[in-house]
Amino acid sequence: MKKSEICVIISIVIFIFSLAYITSLGGLGYLPPVDVRKLAQIYLASTYNPYQPTNTSSGYESVTAIIWDFRGLDTFFETAVFYGAIIASVAIYRGVEISSKKKSIGMSPIAKTVTRLSLILIPIVAASIAFHGHLTPGGGFQAGSVATVVIVLSIMVFGLRRLVQKGVTKPKILLLRSLGLIGIGLTAIGLVLAGLVIGVNAYIFQNQAKAMAEISYPMWIDDVLFGGSLLFFNIFEFVAVMAGFTLVLMLFSIEEEEVKKVIK
């Protein structure tokens, strides 16, 4: 082992012991905390509050309420960063095409049959997570990640070429990804556009009516809690995340020979 490596290890050990010592002196306060901060209490109290319709996010799930209502603009830009990373990955692979002419081999018929069943069940679970994101733990991010399992399974069991032959191509997935992001953008300015038409004020990322902006996404439909804009955001985010991960995983699975033709 080199001297520099030993120095790094000793420095890290001293750093870790210092952190542990500060913690033992109460640097992080009482562990685990008994109370949450005031801000968290406000979030928890305003997640669903039927007595204060101008101060509620119309869902039962506080995390989704924060992500798409209280901090909606942050999440929009975070989604844009995610989109940027995907676009950068696609840019590295520009010019590389997935050949769909060759025959795809795939795994055994047993694996294929079992996977065909899963390919129906997994999207149902994903859709359930997305559609109930404002009621139960879950949401667009989680649903999109679950739905990506379908693509991973398909690539592993049937082969990438088979997926392309079935019409799952790079431009189509990129289009779906863009539609998801456009859907998020439109939901964000939906009430502003509606307000312009009917002549009332509204804010960007507004969910329920506020003072001087008395226009809302539906909170209830019949006796079902609809969640206002949260439901739309979850669905579009589901599409965006699923398409984004699908695209990257497809690029990862391209044969080395195909890539080397372009790089050489």
Partner 1 sequence: MELPTLVASVIVVSLYVNLGIALYGIFARPSLVKKLLAITILSDTANAFAVLVGYRWPRTGTPQPPVLMNTTNYNESIKYYIEHAVDPLPQALVLTAIVIGLAVTLFIAFVIIQYYRLYGTVNVRKTATSSR
Closest approach of partner 1 to the CB of residue 156, in Å:
17
Select from 3, 25, 35, 117 the one that contacts partner 1 (CB under 8 A): 35
Q: How far apart are CA 241 and CA 232, in angstroms?
A: 14
Of the two residues 115 and 148, which places its CB atom closer to partner 1 in the complex? 148
CB < 8 Å & 24+ apart, contacts of 150-154? 150/118, 150/119, 150/122, 150/123, 150/126, 151/245, 151/246, 151/249, 151/250, 152/249, 153/115, 153/118, 153/119, 153/122, 154/115, 154/119
Q: Which of the stretches 61-69, 169-177, 178-186, 214-222 binds partner 1 when contact is defined by CB under 8 A?
A: 61-69
Q: Which of the stretches 62-70, 118-126, 153-161, 162-170 binds partner 1 when contact is defined by CB under 8 A?
A: 62-70
The answer to whether residues 74 and 66 touch, using CB atoms and an 8 Å cutoff, is no
Q: Does 41 bind partner 1 (CB under 8 A)?
A: yes
List Cβ neighbours of 253 (8 Å cut-off, separation of 6 or more): 155, 160
Q: How far apart are CA 127 and CA 147, in angstroms?
A: 8
Q: Which of the stretches 153-161, 167-175, 176-184, 247-255 binds partner 1 when contact is defined by CB under 8 A?
A: 247-255
Q: Does 96 bind partner 1 (CB under 8 A)?
A: no
For residue 25, give Cα distances in angstroms to 17, 34, 119: 12, 18, 53
Applying CB under 8 A, which residues contact partner 1? 4-5, 8-9, 12-13, 15-16, 19-20, 23, 28, 30-37, 39-41, 43-45, 47-51, 60-63, 65-67, 71, 74-75, 78, 81-82, 85-86, 88-89, 92-93, 135-137, 139, 141-142, 144-145, 241, 244-245, 248, 251-252, 259-260, 263
